């Protein structure tokens, strides 16, 4: 419409010039059929003016689609990107030629905001019948809030809402602000999943975790799950392979010293620090070929309370992990192999040195270890829909967390599971677990769960 | 404890080597699959298209969800989040997002 508005005066002007020219010539020139030099110059000036105006209109027409496009993408581009120099240059040129036309929206889109928000997460319902315990149903809902303030800044937070007794527990699982420094480095600060524990970072959501419960050693005090601090992470190619990394500084764990059963173990659930020393940790992963990743994670800290005899005690936790995903034509399906093994070492220390707690003096170097290996197969290449949605899982997991000899015994489990996938992120799981803690009655269990990711 | 670790290590190595060498996908059939789905994106990063990057990176942890499950804006946020979680590079992130948007 605007273009038409400017074409119209130009056409009218051209028509007037054509009509007005003969009288003008009649007034000033001879009647021999030729134009004078003056007439020629006037016509030339008018022609140049029209040409300039036409160029301006063409430029306007070229800018218009870009502007419409930028309006449509108001939610998917950032203010900074929209205010890039080229955009301003076009706007300025446009302003000079046609001053009365409003400035393109590239300058004012910031008024509408560009924040992108997404509510993700998962929910699950579970039935557990374990030997020696009362069978029970349970349910949990884990919303994940994602705010992308710009393409470089993301805030993410997860809540864990589950039932407990007659009430509901709401826990803040993580809350982190991240900034993408460049293609290979991202910085983050807040409460985050510990990079040294790859299972927690990647496989914890119940629609991703293939079995109804979680493996031993990952959640039992050998490795941190959540850290409060700052981290730097990313990945980069090395030839045809890839390396990924994450390093962090955090408050670190607290050394348990008051309880005979737990003396020498690390409490990773205490989010406020107990001393000025900060834990340092990380994980380095290597992807030699597509579908395979091996990783090494660690965290070193001084977990003792400040001002006590434990303040110099050093703790080191380490972990190795392996992830393999392979499509097999021979087996007509997909194989997933996950494995992680972790071990911790706490320096030699004397617990309850004066015997006032009733179990000391007890001197030892605290060591724990544990891990799991899980193999899953899903016949994704079969023609039968029902069979294609089935998945079989076998897991072995082990935990040895008895550094003082007074606490919990070793525990080894085997779990066999069968899943049915209703959609890529909704699953029905059934599993039987053979759970045999040393010197205790078995805790075998039947587990049934449904989980949905969104 | 040491014996347990050794058994664990041997078990894992055995599973990996057998599953990799015996059950791998033939290259010829893979190429055929690539050809059949090549109409979506020609972006390449380390010789991999956006579709391959999407498949390789996402399937390492979970089932892949169809591109139509989310709109373009939602995919921007999800892949940004996943870049942090899976430590993929910026180039991979862009190639994956472009592929996901191009399939709709």
Please check whether residue B82 touches A, CB under 8 A: no
The secondary structure of residue A361, as a DSSP letter, is: -
The number of distinct structural domains making up chain B is 1
Of A156, A240, A339, nearest to B81 by CB-CB distance is: A156
- In-domain check, residue B15: no
Average pLDDT, chain A: 84
Shared domain check, A41 and A158:
no
CA proximity to A115, closest of A83, A81, A149, A78? A149
Contact B63 A186 (CB under 8 A): no
Question: Do the beta carbons of residue A217 and residue A371 sit within 8 Å?
Answer: yes
- Band of pLDDT at residue A401, cut at 50, 70 and 90: confident
Looking at residue A259, its pLDDT comes to 86
- In-domain check, residue B66: yes
What is the CATH classification number for the domain harbouring B69?
Answer: 1.10.760
List the domain range (segments joined by +) for residue B45: 41-102
**C-alpha distances out from residue B75 to A47, A69, A120, A188, Å:** 53, 19, 12, 21
Residues in B closer than 8 angstroms to A245, CB to CB, are 87
Size of interface A-B (CB pairs under 8 A): 141
Shared domain check, A189 and A90:
no
Please check whether residue A312 touches B, CB under 8 A: no
- In-domain check, residue B17: no
- In-domain check, residue B45: yes
Question: Do the beta carbons of residue A252 and residue B18 sit within 8 Å?
Answer: no
Shared domain check, A126 and A88:
no
Please check whether residue B5 touches A, CB under 8 A: yes
A43-62 average pLDDT score:
80
A199-222 average pLDDT score:
94
Looking at residue A32, its pLDDT comes to 55
- In-domain check, residue B71: yes
CA proximity to A274, closest of A298, A242, A244, A250? A250
* Domain final residue, candidates A112, A142, A169: A112
Shared domain check, A426 and A388:
yes
Looking at residue B5, its pLDDT comes to 60
pLDDT in tens, A127-137: 999 999 999 99
Residues in A closer than 8 angstroms to B66, CB to CB, are 424
* Domain final residue, candidates A97, A112, A127: A112
Please check whether residue B58 touches A, CB under 8 A: no
Contact A118 B12 (CB under 8 A): no
Share of chain A above pLDDT 90, in %: 60
- In-domain check, residue B9: no
pLDDT of A31 over the 60 cut: no
- In-domain check, residue B89: yes
Which A positions 416-445 lie with beta carbon below 8 A of chain B? 421, 424-425
Shared domain check, A356 and A220:
yes
Contact B90 A120 (CB under 8 A): no
Enumerate helices (H) and strands (E) in chain B, giving the number of each: 5, 0
- Band of pLDDT at residue A104, cut at 50, 70 and 90: very low
Residues in B closer than 8 angstroms to A184, CB to CB, are 89-90
pLDDT in tens, B47-67: 789 999 999 999 999 999 999
Distance from CA of B88 to the nearest CA of A (A): 5
- Band of pLDDT at residue A12, cut at 50, 70 and 90: low
Shared domain check, A424 and A338:
yes
B10-16 average pLDDT score:
58
Contacts with A365 (C-beta within 8 Å, 6 or more apart), sequence order: A345, A346, A347, A348, A349, A403
Question: Do the beta carbons of residue A399 and residue A413 sit within 8 Å?
Answer: no
Contacts with A224 (C-beta within 8 Å, 6 or more apart), sequence order: A194, A196, A197, A250, A253, A268, A279, A281, A299, A317
Please check whether residue B23 touches A, CB under 8 A: yes
Q: What is the ipTM of this complex?
A: 0.73
The number of distinct structural domains making up chain A is 2
Question: Do the beta carbons of residue A346 and residue A374 sit within 8 Å?
Answer: no
Looking at residue A91, its pLDDT comes to 40
CA dihedral A438, A442, A448, A453 (to 10 degrees): -10
Residue of chain B minimizing CA distance to A118: B74
pLDDT in tens, A254-270: 999 988 888 888 999 88
What is the CATH classification number for the domain harbouring A373?
Answer: 2.40.160.10
Looking at residue A50, its pLDDT comes to 86
Of B12, B72, B90, nearest to A76 by CB-CB distance is: B72
Looking at per-residue pLDDT, the higher value among B24 and A414 belongs to A414
List the domain range (segments joined by +) for residue A34: 2-112
Shared domain check, A93 and A162:
no
Q: Which helix or strand (DSSP H or E) is residue A113 part of?
A: none
pLDDT of A378 over the 90 cut: yes
- In-domain check, residue B85: yes
Shared domain check, A122 and A105:
no
pLDDT of A54 over the 70 cut: yes
Residue of chain B minimizing CA distance to A195: B85
Looking at per-residue pLDDT, the higher value among A86 and A340 belongs to A340
């Amino acid at each position: 419409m605007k273009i038409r508005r400017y074409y119209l005066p130009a056409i009218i002007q051209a028509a007037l010039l054509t009509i007005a020219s003969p009288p003008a010539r009649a007034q000033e020139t001879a009647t021999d059929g030729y134009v004078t030099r003056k007439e020629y110059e006037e016509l030339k000036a008018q022609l140049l003016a029209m040409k300039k105006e036409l160029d301006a209109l063409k430029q306007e027409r070229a800018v218009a689609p870009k502007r419409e496009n930028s309006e449509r993408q108001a939610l998917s581009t950032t203010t900074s990107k929209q205010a890039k120099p080229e955009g301003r240059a076009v706007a300025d040129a446009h302003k000079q030629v046609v001053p009365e036309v409003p400035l393109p929206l590239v300058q004012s889109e910031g008024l509408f905001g560009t924040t992108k928000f997404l509510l993700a997460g998962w929910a699950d319902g579970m039935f557990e019948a374990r030997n020696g315990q009362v069978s029970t149903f349970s349910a949990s809902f884990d919303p994940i809030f994602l705010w992308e303030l710009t393409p470089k800044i993301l805030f993410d937070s997860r809540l864990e809402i589950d039932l407990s007794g007659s009430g509901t527990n709401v826990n803040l699982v993580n809350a982190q602000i991240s900034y993408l420094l460049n293609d290979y480095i991202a910085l983050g600060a807040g409460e985050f999943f510990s990079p040294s524990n790859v299972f927690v970072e990647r496989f914890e959501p119940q629609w991703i975790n293939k079995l109804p419960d979680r493996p031993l050693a990952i959640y039992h005090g050998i490795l941190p799950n959540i850290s409060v601090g700052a981290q730097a992470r990313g990945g980069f190619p090395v030839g045809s392979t890839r390396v990924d990394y994450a390093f962090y500084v955090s408050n670190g764990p607290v050394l348990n010293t008051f309880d005979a059963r737990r003396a020498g173990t690390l409490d990773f659930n205490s989010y406020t620090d107990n001393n000025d020393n900060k834990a340092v940790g990380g994980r380095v992963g290597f992807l030699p070929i597509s579908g395979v990743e091996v990783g090494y994670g660690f965290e070193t800290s001084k977990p003792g309370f400040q001002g006590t005899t434990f303040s110099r005690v050093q703790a080191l936790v380490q972990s190795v992990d392996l992830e393999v995903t392979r499509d097999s034509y021979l087996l007509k399906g997909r194989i997933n192999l996950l494995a992680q093994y972790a071990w911790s070492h706490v320096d030699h220390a004397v617990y309850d040195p004066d015997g006032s707690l009733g179990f000391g003096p007890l001197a030892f170097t605290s060591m724990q270890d544990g891990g799991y290996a899980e193999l899953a197969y899903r016949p994704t290449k079969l023609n039968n829909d029902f069979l294609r949605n089935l998945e079989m899982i076998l897991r072995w997991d082990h935990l040895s967390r008895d550094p003082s000899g007074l606490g919990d015994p070793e525990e080894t489990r085997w779990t066999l599971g069968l899943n049915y996938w209703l959609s890529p992120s909704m699953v029905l799981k059934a599993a039987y677990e053979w759970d045999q803690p040393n010197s205790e009655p078995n805790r075998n269990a039947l587990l049934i769960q449904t989980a949905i990711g969104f | 404890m040491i014996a347990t670790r050794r058994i664990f290590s041997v078990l894992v190595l055995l599973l990996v080597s057998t599953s990799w060498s015996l059950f791998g996908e033939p290259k010829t059939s893979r190429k055929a699959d690539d050809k059949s789905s090549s109409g979506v994106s020609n972006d390449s990063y380390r010789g991999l298209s956006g579709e391959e990057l999407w498949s390789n990176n996402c399937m390492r942890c979970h089932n892949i969800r169809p591109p139509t499950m989310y709109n373009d804006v939602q995919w921007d946020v999800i892949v940004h989040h996943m870049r942090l979680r899976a430590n993929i590079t910026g180039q991979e992130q862009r190639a994956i997002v472009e592929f996901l948007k191009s399939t709709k």
